[in-house]
Chains A and B, each alone.
Chain A
Amino acid sequence: MGLRGKESTLVAENAVEDDDDVMDDLSGQESESGSESEEEDVKLAEPSKNPIYNRDGLIEKLQDISWPENVEWMHKLSLDIDQEKEVDVNDDLARELAFYTQALEGTRLAFEKFQSMGLPFLRPPDYYAEMVKTDVHMQKVKGRLLAQKRQIEEAEERRKAREAKRIAKEVQAEKLKERAKQKKQEIEEVKKWRKQRQQSGFPAGGKDSELDLGFEDGKAFERSSKKRPGVSPGDRSGGKAKQGGGKGKNMKKRESRNSKFGFGGRKGLKKQNTAETTNDIRGFNKGGVAGNKKRKK
């Protein structure tokens, strides 16, 4: 190509200098967000090369091609936005932000112009027409966005679950330790009581106030407060006999009968050594035995 040949001869003079453009060209092939080439940053200023700059020619051509002066803005729809500050090319975020602000400014100006002219500007929500990207494509976009959101949420949940598990484990460990300590304590106290009893020779002085027994404060045989709701020792229904509805004519009667005969009746508990039965000597000899004591019965 004649044109390219000219370029290459001119540039061959400067051997190894690169410049920002080079970096952009190179890295830009793949993605603009990663300028990962390590070329030097030297700007290729070549006043010695004498590049062609035919200003008059350019302006002449500009006059040739441009539309007449009095063309309405509606034909051109072009807006000039001034940038205040220089943007570094390699800072992607700043650069994109600059473009975004430029576009936003332009749109605002255009909107005002349109409003003053009384022309419609934006698409009304009920206007359906062919879009530049197909619906299928937009579905894919939506799917991807949703997937991203879901990923984030899942990561959050996993993190929270991990934290909660850690805390729960700690709490559980604490509880176990407590229980073990309690058990040890009780055993110790029983031993102490036994020893004390031995030492003081099993008198009926169990009411000695010296003996300060940790387990005789009435709480020893107390079941844990964490019992199944509504289960009494004689309950055969396993705690499920609680009635759902609380209304009715003879609820109390029904409940009492249920507790006695429901689900097969009461469990064991027919013969038990309770306080009442120990002192109950009805079944024993009544009225003294007037027989021979020596006679074997």
Chain B
Amino acid sequence: MGKKRKRSETQTAEPTKKDEGAPERPKRTLLGWKDKEEVKNQSESNPDSSHFFRNKEKVMVTCSRRINYRYRHLMLNMVSLLPHCKKDNKVESRSSKGATLNELIELRGCSSALFFECRKHQDLYLWMAKCPSGPSVKFLVNAVHTMEELKLTGNHLKGSRPLLTFSGNFEKDAHWKLLKEMITQIFGTPKEHRKSKPYHDHVFVFSIVDDHIWFRNYQISVPHNESDKMIRGGLDKMTLVEVGPRFCLNPIKIFAGSFGGPTLYENPFYVSPNQIRAMEKRQKAGKYAKKVKAKTRRKMHELSNPLEPDEFADMWRE
């Protein structure tokens, strides 16, 4: 019978289970605590022992004012997906956006930021930035489906560490590599984070199709028949159910500094949504002008080529 296991139990059980991998605290040996020097001198690379590497990533998530309901829900979804994030209040800024945001990030003590900027209640731009000096990227977000949609039926633990999968073409070019690194750092939950949960039951998909980054989030579900702790033979029967949210990112520019600085990369295929709308309107406006022109042309044509007098014109004159 499976008895309910409390979360605290597993948390404490976890570190003891890991034989390999870093011990969180200095190892307790019979002679006392292991010394720092000893740990450093270990040739067997334990690079993520607490003295070498610890993922201390903290993401600050904010949005601009006048944000749409759909994009606000997307932002809230992101907050629930990333346990290592801090949600902040709306940022009101027309000018000097970069400075304000940088200050905020410093204040909260975060190392990166996701800023959802909504323009004209219609377009959503996502800024991904590493602070204090790191690069930042501005994306245009399309095709947003939030987690609340009833067609996305999956569910997973809140705060469990995701598996990040990247498509092969992230290695094709320098800017994709940079983006991949940024995404790994921002979207990957740090190991042993306070709010993280132990198991891995969902997977993020980042793939580049048509120069856009598509994001999907799937729940890993295995039919529980043997109900073992680790599903052994179930690898074949593993299915993925989509949890959401879904969105598509179109990179616009990459800057060297955080929310500003020299441009490192500019997307040549990017057309801003304002332009698209303007072009549409111009097309529609052109219809009437074309009609008028066609009329005058017809008139000129008729004047220049008069018809011959009709023989039968007065045939039926009564």
Determine, out of A92-100, A200-208, A283-291, the stretch whose residues face the partner at the interface: A92-100
Least Cβ distance of A276 to chain B in Å? 79
A20–B210 CB distance below 8 A: yes
A103–B201 CB distance below 8 A: no
B181–A123 CB distance below 8 A: no
Which of A71, A114, A127 is within 8 Å of B10, CB to CB?
A127
Q: What does the 1/0 interface line of B1-31 toward A look like (CB < 8 Å)?
A: 0111101001000000111111000000000
Q: What does the 1/0 interface line of A51-73 toward B look like (CB < 8 Å)?
A: 11111011101101111101110
Number of A-B contacts (CB under 8 A): 297
> Residues of B contacting A16 with CB < 8 Å?
279, 282-283
> Residues of B contacting A118 with CB < 8 Å?
17, 19-20
Determine, out of B34-42, B230-238, B296-304, B309-317, the stretch whose residues face the partner at the interface: B230-238
B216–A58 CB distance below 8 A: no
Task: Flag whether A211 is at the interface (Cβ < 8 A).
Answer: no
Enumerate B242-272 residues with CB–CB distance to A below 8 Å: 243, 246, 248, 250, 252-254, 256, 262-272
Question: How distant is the Cα of A57 from the Cα of B174 in the complex, in angstroms?
Answer: 10
Decide: A32 near B248, CB < 8 A? Known: A61-B134, A127-B10: yes
> Residues of B contacting A68 with CB < 8 Å?
47, 52-53
Task: Flag whether A210 is at the interface (Cβ < 8 A).
Answer: no
Task: Flag whether A280 is at the interface (Cβ < 8 A).
Answer: no
B229–A124 CB distance below 8 A: yes
Among A22, A25, A104, A111: residue with most chain B CB under 10 A:
A25
Question: How distant is the Cα of A138 from the Cα of B95 in the complex, in angstroms?
Answer: 43
Which of A8, A21, A106 is within 8 Å of B165, CB to CB?
A106
Interface size class of A (residues with CB under 8 A): 35 or more
A21–B250 CB distance below 8 A: yes
Least Cβ distance of B125 to chain A in Å? 10
Residues of chain A having any CB pair with chain B under 8 Å: 1, 3-4, 7-8, 11, 15-16, 18-22, 24-26, 28-29, 31-32, 39, 43-46, 49, 51-55, 57-59, 61-62, 64-68, 70-72, 74-83, 87, 89, 95, 98-100, 102-108, 110-111, 114-115, 117-133, 137-138, 140-141, 144-145
Residues of chain B having any CB pair with chain A under 8 Å: 2-5, 7, 10, 17-22, 45, 47-48, 52-53, 55, 80-81, 95, 97, 122-123, 130, 133-135, 138, 140, 142-143, 145, 147-148, 150, 153, 155-171, 174-175, 177-178, 180-182, 184-185, 188, 190-191, 197-201, 203, 205, 207, 209-212, 214, 216, 218, 220, 222, 224, 227, 229-231, 235, 238, 240, 243, 246, 248, 250, 252-254, 256, 262-276, 279, 282-283
